[in-house]
Amino acid sequence: MTTTLTPDICVIGAGSGGLSVAAAAAAFGVDVVLVERGKMGGDCLNYGCVPSKALIAAARHAQAMRDGTPLGIGAVEPEIDFEAVHRHVHEAIAAIAPNDSAERFNALGVHVIRAEGQFRDLQTLVAGDIEIQARYFVLATGSSPFVPPIPGLDKSDYLTNETIFDLTARPEHLIIIGGGAIGMELAQAYKRLGSMVTVIEIATALGKEDPELAAIVLKQIRDEGVVIHERTEITRIVQHGLGSVQLSLKSGDGSETIEGTHLLVAAGRVPNLRGMGLDKAGVVHGEWGLQVDSRLRTSNRRIYAVGDATGLQQYTHAANYHAGLVVRSILFRLPARERRNIVPRVTFTEPELAHIGLTEAEATKAYKSIRVARWPYAENDRARTEHRTHGHIKVIASPRGRILGVSIVGAQAGELIGVWALALSKNLTLRDVASYVPPYPTLGEIGKRAAVAYFTPMARKPLVRRLVNLLRKFD
């Protein structure tokens, strides 16, 4: 027999965005149904942020043992137990998993259904033997690895982020297809853990980032021994038995062949939208995401979308941000509008690369006049004491000091970008940033010094100097 449920909200997908919507709505006493066909916690917990950052942490410790000489600590080559590294990664997942479990959400008052959901019509979702006719639906279906149409790839044993963290033995030579954030993070991590690593990128590695700052990251990764082929096409892939894969490459320098033991596809992600019956639900969509308005509503005004399903910014924190907007819109009818310029992104390499707002190239196209302020880590006392002087901050602003974008490359860039995320979300100016007092000695002073540097040229203006000289006469 078919059971019919009529909740206020039905959330499809138990990743970060979907869980945030469900938990928030349930906290206000709203009747919520959550539908999930796979693992609770979605990609971030099981295949993405959590395992990758756990792996990166292990790799960073290994590298620290090699890099102690400048601090007076003898460099040693670490003994790496890759099976223990694998155990560490999965212990991190297991420690966080209870927060995202079906049991916890059932206890919060959310009706969790473990089945695949498919729309039957404009207002009905079928999940197993249950029909759900909700007042509102929220699509939080996440994304999956994009597998490029490379000849021979479909006949090869390749890894994605959904399978690479299952490895219990270290790859001897890992070849990575894709030089974006995921590809470069894992390239550096596996190299530091003892693998040979080669990255193949058809365009430019870290191509979304400001080239000035990306170059610093790529130089460091290359210096550590990762081979990066940019503007290189893979013309064919051939699997030669277990543990042997051959790639034929073509670039401006000619053709060559490389061989490795493992192949990782990190060429981007596509939203999980197939098989959902979106056409029956009247939802306009494409291969790279759903069509949504500034309130994250789809073409069916009763259906919202958050996170990777939108095809917009594929970050866990963006999904959580979307969730907050949707909850405000559905529960309180508030005019919550998405602002993409306040969502930061971080590439967790070493040095880290963080960004928010517009890059210099984007700002130059959008505005008649911009100003750029920089400040190096080498001029920061805390960075000096820790011998972490590699990198700088770059602030893009209007002539009046309106913050347009910020990029940081260096130690803890992902933490330092937080102040600038707050500044952009609250429409603060560089004058506001220049007036705040960071503790000494901290890396946080770098941001304040960049803001102060923006105003330094004013001290050289004749009018300002005449004013200062005039005021001196009134002592």
Binding positions for NAD(+)? 178-185, 201, 268
CA dist 443 and 382 (Å) reads 6
- Binding-site residues for FAD, in ranges, read 53, 117, 141-143, 308
Tokens at 121, concatenated = 């019509």
Binding-site residue ranges? 53, 117, 141-143, 178-185, 201, 268, 308
| Whether 20 contacts 323, CB under 8 Å | yes
User: Residue 306: in which H helix or E strand, if any?
Assistant: none
Token output for 257: 């062949």
My answer on whether omega of the bond before 51 falls inside 30° of 0, hence cis, is no
DSSP 3-state assignment of 105?
helix
With CA atoms as reference, report the closest residue to 12 among 317, 290, 269, 288.
290
Distance CA 258, CA 238 (A): 11
Q: Is residue 338 helix, strand or coil?
A: coil
390 close to 423: Cβ distance less than 8 angstroms: no
Separation in Å, CA 325 to CA 17, 43, 80, 294, 328:
11, 21, 44, 10, 5
**Distance from C-alpha of 301 to C-alpha of 401, rounded to nearest angstrom:** 39
In the block, tokens 């890396």 appear at 443
CA 47 vs CA 143, 188, 193, 254, 433: distances in Å: 11, 18, 19, 36, 37
Side chain identity at residue 66, one-letter code = R
CA–CA distance from 371 to each of 88, 365, 377, 460 (Å)? 45, 13, 20, 16
Strands in 254-260's sheet, in edge-to-edge order, are 233-239, 245-251, 254-260
DSSP code at position 297: B
Unique residue bearing structure tokens 């005019």? 335
CA dihedral over 280, 282, 286, 290, signed as positive or negative: negative
Asked whether 8 and 134 are in contact (CB, 8 A), the reply is yes
For residue 53, give Cα distances in angstroms to 57, 90, 185.
6, 11, 9
Distance of CA 20 to the CA centre of its chain: 18
- Farthest CA pair distance, the chain: 92
